[in-house]
Amino acid sequence: MTASYRCFRARSSLSCCNTHADDDMSALFQILPCDLRDTLLCDPSQDQLVEVILDLGCLPQAHYIDDSGRRYLRNTEVSMEEIQCVLKEIGQFGGDNRAGIEGTLHRISAIRNRKGEVIGLTCRVGRARGQIDMVRDLLDFGESILFVGRPGVGKTTVVREISRVLSDELHKRVVIVDTSNEIGGDGDIPHSAIGGARRLQVPDPSMQHQVMIEAVENHMPEVIIIDEIGTESEVHACRTIAERGVMLIGTAHGEQLENIIKNPTLSDLIGGVVTVTLSDQEARIRNCSKSVLERKTPSPFPFLIEINERDYWIVHRTERSVDALLRGKKPLVEVRRRTQQLQVVIERWRTKA
């Protein structure tokens, strides 16, 4: 493989992953048991904190960015009284078992027993900034972008920052469909991290696709931002919105593009896959069997970005990459990584003939 590359320094220190001035960590720590709060407040790596886990009868844990293990915060188990105290400090849980802390970007997710009682909590840190330098140049194209990556890798932080840049710097009419209030934060007044973007809340997660269409029909957006596309109805809504000429910024769970191609629910996000029977002559020209897989339609997302790690992304031109993969070839991609000097290096990898 050969590569060409270029690099640039992050536009300001506010864009680098170390910044947490807008993250309001104290609000998250305030709802925790006192001893855990004190431990985390004194932790020099709190700006790397991803989540705190409180499960009944288990040791409380903290997970950190790029930390493959877990850290126990004390050597005594979590009690039901402690869980109940946390519940008193947060908002109500929605149908997706998620709640928030008003005025912040943090998310609290519940685990329930068979009686419906909360016996576990995942307290996820919501970050206002940290990733926009990895994708800022692509926003100038004005084309839709789909981000894929495993949970916790930073997809929501990315789309939150994109909403701010598109609305405040590129002066677009941006509407966020915020199903769990995770992009704009809990409460009726959205967090300042989304800039001038408008936010539509979703009464129930099953209604996400309806609110997506409502956003287009009622509010004349130039950009729609949607987190966690996961059902056929939401995929269909994305196609409908794209066909109306509206830019889409979305996320989906998956390690890489191949996961989306093989997922029957999500594959229409990359154009869909259909089995085609070739003529004898065409099969000979392609040097393949007569029955092959091909992309069905144009993708509603011209760009697809795999977030492998917070500082290591792979950028696909979606249709070209899908077509190459379906033919058993390696696609041309951009590899974007952030160095320790906060430079974003972009390498274009091309497979030799």
What's the pLDDT score for residue 23? 67
Q: Quick count: other Cβ atoms within 10 Å of Cβ 27?
A: 15
Question: How many Cβ atoms are within 10 Å of 221's Cβ, its own excluded?
Answer: 22
Tokens of 165: 């840049």
Q: Cα–Cα distance between 57 and 341 in angstroms, integer?
A: 43
Per-residue pLDDT tens digits of the chain, which is 353 residues long = 445 555 544 443 333 333 344 568 899 999 999 999 999 999 888 888 999 999 999 999 999 886 656 899 999 999 999 999 999 999 889 888 999 998 899 999 999 999 999 999 999 998 887 789 999 999 999 999 999 999 888 899 999 999 999 999 999 999 999 998 999 998 899 999 999 999 999 999 999 999 999 999 999 999 999 999 999 999 999 999 999 999 999 999 899 999 999 999 999 999 999 988 877 777 777 777 777 889 999 999 999 999 998 899 999 999 999 999 998 899 999 999 998 888 999 998 854 43
Helix residue spans in 56-202 (DSSP H): 80-89, 136-139, 155-164
> What pLDDT score does 10 carry?
43
State the pLDDT at residue 131. 80
d(CA 2, CA 49): 37
Residue partners of 185: CB distance under 8 A and separation at least 6: 100, 102, 103, 104, 105, 126, 191, 193
Task: Look at residue 20 in the predicted model and tell me its pLDDT.
Answer: 43
Q: What are phi and psi of 55, to 5 degrees?
A: -115, 135
The 3-state DSSP class for residue 226 equals strand
Q: Identify each DSSP E strand in 10-156 by its residue range.
A: 49-55, 61-64, 71-72, 98-100, 107-112, 118-124, 145-149
- Among 290, 318, 294, 288, smallest CA distance to 305 is for 318
Identify the DSSP state of 213: H
pLDDT for position 260: 97
> Measuring CA to CA, which residue among 230, 228, 226 is closest to residue 241?
226
Q: How many other β-carbons are positioned within 10 Å of the β-carbon of residue 215?
A: 23
State the DSSP code for 261. Answer: H
Q: How many CB atoms neighbour CB 115 within 10 A?
A: 6
Angle at 83 between CA 79 and CA 88, to 5 degrees: 145
Directed axis angle between helix 232-243 and helix 208-219, to 10°?
20
- For residues 312 and 256, the answer to whether their CB atoms sit within 8 Å is no
Cα distance between residue 132 and residue 45, in whole Å = 22
- Six token digits for residue 2: 């050969």
Give the pair of three-digit tokens for residue 206.
């099953």
Residue 28 confidence (pLDDT): 94
Q: At 240, which helix (H) or strand (E)? A: helix 232-243
Tell me the C-alpha distance between 272 and 294, whole Å. 8
Query: What span, in angstroms and rounded, lies between the C-alpha atoms of 295 and 303?
Result: 15
- Phi-psi label, residue 313: left if phi above 0, alpha if psi -120 to 50, beta otherwise: beta
Determine the pLDDT at residue 48.
85
What was the pLDDT predicted at 66? 67
Domains of the chain: 24-124 (3.30.450.90), 132-350 (3.40.50.300)
